[in-house]
Amino acid sequence: MKFEEQDKRGLSFAEPSFVEPSYPRQIWAITNCGFSLGMICGFFSHPVKGICNLPKNGVKPLPEAWLEAVLTDVPRLGVKFAAFTAVWSSLNIAMHHYHNVKYFRSKVPRECNVLNDVISLTATVALFKSGQGFRVASRSAFSWGSVCSIFRVSEELLDMAALPLKAYNEEEYRPEKMHREYLCLSRN
């Protein structure tokens, strides 16, 4: 297909456009990242488990004990991370969709985005810990929700401090413009 034919169909090659993936693809991508993160964390944290299991294993050498711990526990840990990130991202995307915004380029107030992240993490932790009882689930959900809120609020405050204040007017709120102004300020 020639360039002119593509241009007749309405495609613009002058500026690269960012096409956001659909919600299921976003959830799938985040779940894949969670699975990979779980596998990597398990692979590097299981030498400690192999060392701790040495007295139980008898005279088994350390590499063999580590390999046994890695082969049995790393896939299970990856699946747990994947399930957690799938539920978390599903709740988060559902709340963003409820506000009739797109997930990556939202135009809702900044406080709403922070609340969506905190509420979705708190609900996910409560759901995953609910098998251990109400007290454990509520404590874990509250602690992880407060940690998430501290990080998200500090991230938003750093973003507000780094960008010029005039870009935060509702009429001028455009992420592309704020990013360009931020780059200009960081070069000076």
Residues 129, 188: one domain? Answer: yes
For residues 8-16, average pLDDT: 47
Query: Mean pLDDT lowest for which of 6-10, 72-76, 106-110?
Result: 6-10
Q: d(Cα 110, Cα 152) in Å, to the nearest integer?
A: 10
Mean of per-residue pLDDT scores for the chain: 72
Strands (E), 64-110: none
Q: Confirm whether 43 is domain-assigned.
A: yes
Residues 178, 119: one domain? Answer: yes
The residue among 105, 120, 146 that closes a domain is 105
The residue among 105, 123, 151 that closes a domain is 105
The residue among 86, 105, 124 that closes a domain is 105
Residues 88, 24: one domain? Answer: yes
For residues 70-91, average pLDDT: 87
**Residues 38-68 pLDDT 10s:** 888 888 777 676 666 666 655 566 677 677 7
Give yes or no for a contact between 96 and 61, defined as CB atoms under 8 angstroms apart: no
Q: d(Cα 129, Cα 138) in Å, to the nearest integer?
A: 8
Query: For the chain, what is the domain count?
Result: 2
**Long-range contacts at 128-132 (CB < 8 A, ≥ 24 apart):** 128/83, 128/84, 128/87
Q: What is the CA radius of gyration of the chain?
A: 23
Residues 75, 140: one domain? Answer: no
Q: Confirm whether 6 is domain-assigned.
A: no
**Residues 112-170 pLDDT 10s:** 677 888 888 899 999 888 888 888 888 888 888 888 888 888 887 777 776 655 555 55
Residues 128, 142: one domain? Answer: yes
Q: d(Cα 145, Cα 122) in Å, to the nearest integer?
A: 5
Q: d(Cα 73, Cα 53) in Å, to the nearest integer?
A: 13
